Amino acid sequence: MKQPPRPNGRPPAFTYQPSSKKSVGHIDSSLHGDQVALSLLAKRYGTPLYVYSASSIRQRAAAFESAFRKVPHTICYSVKANSNLAILRMLAKAGYGFDVVSGGELERVLHADKGAAKKVVFSGVGKTREEMKAALKAGSLLFNVESASELRALAECAAQARKIAPVAMRVNPDVSAKTHPYISTGLHKHKFGIPISEARYLYAEAAKSKHLKVAGVSVHIGSQITDVQPFSEAMQRVAALVRDLRADGHKINYIDAGGGLGISYDHDDRSDFADKVGGYAEALLRPLRGLKLHLLLEPGRSIIGPAGALLTRVLYKKTNGGKKFLVVDAGMTELIRPSLYQAHHQIIPVTSSDSAKQEVVDVVGPVCETGDFFARDRQMPEVEEGELLAILDAGAYGMVLASNYNTRPRPAEVLVDGKSSKLIRRRETIGDLMRNEI
């Protein structure tokens, strides 16, 4: 008999396992997160529901550690990808650092582990003075500075706090990341960074301040990059800058290579993730040979993205003319990526049968917007009202971008680890949404 489809390249996160529900002459399977049936989690916690795999997060983070093991490095997980405290605690306990882009993210890291500040890189194009002061007080490892005005503001804050702020200029190498324009950051037309041609002047200004310490160079060219060549090109330009800066008398100890390594959203990824990270490491490290630097890396999506899924239940099936729709209980309020980035996420039934017919449908949410959709003209197994679907690769930029539009409470989050599961964020209530209003 034909085996049911499996989400390839995703173990140990989300795989089909034989179902206890028997169907004569057919094979039925149930989607699991690690060893926990997702249908049981939906029954216990309701839907929409975010589910994350702890074992997958650990496995993917370890792939980065292994790929860069031959050079001094620190993996600084990008908090903006998924900032749940339970996940931050797990990564902090394993010894990872963090990349933050706001005072709120910094507070989350410190709440997860007060000792993690010494491995915090503070990035972001619009840091406020209050955020700078908080990061100085916490003892952050590095400030990635993005403008001359920010550099001067940081010097003032450090002077007031009687601290010395370690700085790296985020340089803009004018390298195309070949990704979605909303998440490309390495060209001159983007708001991020300092033109690499102007960087030496800003380093010279920083060196004059007794409250600033020149410590490194930072670069980040964008997100969801699947070709490693842009990383290599950017690092070649950064390596040349490091040599120039050292010739100018600056002590450069760190290179922050940013993040941006992409994942496969639109098809089953049969390649080995460790091999992908190995290729990424080679692209970064080849231009840096002989420079004796400590490398900082900021992976986010590549660690947490495939480790998360959004469970949603089919509310209604409807047909408008010849157009078929599955109306589900999750919407753009839970996962905005398809609406915002035209992102493709695999959507699969939680209960799979080898006998299921295929149909072409739009998978849409209940939010009062035409842009509230997860898939258009998608061929997928036929499902009935009340059945569960899993939207895969939703661990990154899912819950962190969730909103309360239409006064919709945000969903609960669950972390699975082997055969165990635990609630790591309770579902919001309508009362939660109105509590702060006067």
Task: Give the domains, in start order, of the chain with CATH numbers.
Answer: 14-53+306-434 (2.40.37.10), 123-299 (3.20.20.10)
Q: pLDDT tier at 264 (50, 70, 90 boundaries)?
A: confident
Q: pLDDT tier at 182 (50, 70, 90 boundaries)?
A: very low
22 CB-side CA count, 13 A: 2
- Strand 412-417 to 73-78 pairing: unpaired
3-class DSSP state for residue 126?
A: coil
- Strand 97-100 to 73-78 pairing: parallel
Report the distance separating Cα 267 and Cα 262, nearest Å: 13
3-class DSSP state for residue 151?
A: helix
- pLDDT tens digits for 55-111? 999 999 999 999 999 999 999 999 999 999 999 999 999 999 999 999 999 999 999
Higher-confidence position of 288 and 22: 288
Tokens encoding 53: 């795999």
Write down the pLDDT at residue 95. Answer: 96
- Strand 254-256 to 294-297 pairing: parallel
pLDDT at residue 269 tops 80: no
Ramachandran assignment for 311, one of left (phi > 0), alpha (psi -120 to 50 degrees), beta (any other): beta
What length is written for the chain? 438
Report the distance separating Cα 411 and Cα 402, nearest Å: 9
Tokens encoding 319: 């047909």
Report the distance separating Cα 136 and Cα 155, nearest Å: 11
pLDDT at residue 331 tops 90: yes
Q: How distant is the alpha carbon of residue 303 from its chain centre?
A: 7
Write down the pLDDT at residue 268. Answer: 56
pLDDT at residue 21 tops 90: no
Instruction: State mean pLDDT over 18-47.
Output: 84
Please, what is the average pLDDT of the chain?
91
Report the distance separating Cα 242 and Cα 111, nearest Å: 35
Cα separations in angstroms, 342 against 168, 332, 345: 34, 12, 10
Higher-confidence position of 321 and 211: 211
pLDDT at residue 139 tops 50: yes
Query: Angle at the Cα of 401 (from 135 to 397), degrees rounded to 5?
Result: 85
- Extract the runs of DSSP E, i.e. beta strands, from 34-172: 36-37, 49-53, 73-78, 97-100, 120-122, 142-145, 165-172
- pLDDT tens digits for 381-424? 999 999 999 999 999 999 999 999 999 999 999 999 999 999 99
Report which of 211, 288, 205 is spatially closest to residue 253, judged by C-alpha positions: 288
DSSP 366: S
Report the distance separating Cα 245 and Cα 235, nearest Å: 15
Q: b/e map of 61-79 (b: 16 or more CB within 10 Å)?
A: bebbeebbeeeebbbbbbb
Active site residues: 368
Report the distance separating Cα 132 and Cα 25, nearest Å: 65
Instruction: State mean pLDDT over 261-285.
Output: 83
DSSP assignment of 271-322 equals S-HHHHHHHHHHHHHGGGTTS--EEEE---HHHHGGGEEEEEEEEEEEEETT
Report the distance separating Cα 91 and Cα 60, nearest Å: 11
Is the CB of residue 259 less than 8 Å from the CB of residue 296?
Answer: no
Report which of 303, 217, 305, 208 is spatially closest to residue 255, judged by C-alpha positions: 217
Instruction: State mean pLDDT over 25-41.
Output: 88
